[in-house]
Amino acid sequence: MQKIPKRISTALINALSAGVVPRVGLEQIAVGREKETSALAQDLENIAEGGAAFRFIVGRFGSGKSFMLQFLRNLAMEQGFVVADADLSPERRLAGSSSQGVATYRELMGNIATKTNPNGGAIALILEKWLSGILSQVAQETGKRLGEDDFDDQVEVKIRAVVDDLENLVHGFDFGSVIIAYWRGYREDNPDKQDAALRWLRGEFNTKTEAKSALGVRVIIDDDTWYDYIKLFAKFVSDIGYKGLIVLLDEAVHLYKITHTASRHSNYDKLLAMFNDTMQGKAENLGIVVGGTPEFLEDSRRGLHSEEAWRSRLAKSRFLKDDFQDTSAPVIGLEPLTSKDISQLLQRLAEVHGMHYSYKKVISSRELEEFKQEIMNRLGAEKLLTPREVVRDLISVLNILHQNPQVTFKQIINGDRVLPTANGKKQDGDKTGNFAEFTL
């Protein structure tokens, strides 16, 4: 394994120890899932060519849904896409009577990221980069600079060429007007106007009166229209040089948990509209990936399958056997990792841990196999064991070995207690089961 920067290894170790998915360094520990990754990579190719895609990534808690979403996020940014991600919650849904839909939009737009700005909040940087490119182009073509003769007019012509391409879309005129307002704020060195345009694009205006006063537009982004602006933003970023927009929505189980039937169905209907748009080719340069549990999808009483429109769209082909998976279908189900995948994962984790703490290998390949057998021998592990459990257990063992050099791998695995003797040295004590606590 190549040397990993301390920043990356720190993020990996901290996140994995806490049972959450790191934002960076995922390629260092990614194993298995080749078919799923290949299918998502094909989606990116299609989106870059002007198409659209919609996917569900489905698996139990800890099975790797969030990992796959973050892996796709990093892959998309690396290839030149703009990405936006959000976790759904009781306060962030797709539709609602208390602005839960626009709350999701605001979270997505706040998390806008690109390859050069991977940490989110990149809307202003995207616009600045675009305008700087236009200014440089006009300067080369005319030999003039900002503020000279008709320089500004020629810049605005090029901006309007992009904006005019959006006007055929729903709300495209208003979106374009805000982009023009941002340019004029840039030209006039008016940060208030630029900030107002950014606030509007992020969905932060609460009233139309406020928007009209600040920007001269008569509409705002709200619960009914937020998805239309996602489509507009996807088209816009593709027109200015990016390959498209990838939207990642995790924790869709929160839609399944909505107790009010009408509210739950309104969220499923919004999701269906997004699904239909992308699958029917009504959206361009847009990919939507939703992470959820099997219950969210398959529960016939409260899940998506409770609605015929969804059930008919997501039902598996009767020719699809248990041993096969159609990765071109809308639903990608995450199966348990194979024994070989787990061995590879354990090896990579041990290498990352050793590299991070700068120690020579304290656990052998044979011991890693013993560890794997230990966790695989648990009742039902073949079907119920998740990557999250495997990772957390191994990181814990590696931490104990690193922090307590007098303790052996066998003592931890066998649950041997390490007790002090009268002369201060340690001795083996009774066995209390797997991964028991031990006394120093």
pLDDT in tens, 249-285: 999 999 999 999 999 999 999 999 999 999 999 999 9
pLDDT digits (tens, 9 = 90+) for 417-440: 544 444 444 444 444 444 444 333
Is 413 within a domain?
Answer: yes
Is 20 within a domain?
Answer: no
State mean pLDDT over 303-331.
82
Q: Is 288 exposed, middle or buried (0-12, 13-18, 19+ CB in 10 A)?
A: buried
Is 200 within a domain?
Answer: no
Average pLDDT, the chain: 88
pLDDT digits (tens, 9 = 90+) for 171-195: 999 999 999 999 999 999 999 999 9
* pLDDT interval class at 92 (50, 70, 90): very high
Is 282 within a domain?
Answer: no
State mean pLDDT over 198-224.
95
Domain that holds residue 396: 339-431
Total domain count for the chain? 1
Task: Say what the pLDDT of residue 382 is.
Answer: 55
State mean pLDDT over 98-127.
96
What are the counts of helices (DSSP H) followed by strands (DSSP E) for the chain?
19, 7
Task: Say what the pLDDT of residue 38 is.
Answer: 93
How many CA atoms lie less than 13 Å away from 93 in the CB half-sphere?
24
Is 49 within a domain?
Answer: no
Task: Say what the pLDDT of residue 385 is.
Answer: 64
pLDDT digits (tens, 9 = 90+) for 340-371: 888 899 999 999 998 998 887 778 889 999 88
Is 285 within a domain?
Answer: no
- Does residue 299 have a pLDDT over 80? yes
Tokens of 137: 């182009």
- What would the 3-class secondary structure string for 307-346 be? CHHHHHHHCCCCCCCCCCCCCCCCEEECCCCCHHHHHHHH
Task: Say what the pLDDT of residue 384 is.
Answer: 55
d(CA 106, CA 92): 9
pTM, rounded to two decimals = 0.86
Is 254 within a domain?
Answer: no
Amino acid at 288: I
Task: Say what the pLDDT of residue 316 is.
Answer: 75
Is 144 within a domain?
Answer: no
What proportion of the chain, given as a percentage, has pLDDT over 70?
Answer: 90
Task: Say what the pLDDT of residue 322 is.
Answer: 61
Task: Say what the pLDDT of residue 191 is.
Answer: 95
Backbone angles phi, psi at 429, to 5 degrees: -115, -150
- Does residue 163 have a pLDDT over 80? yes
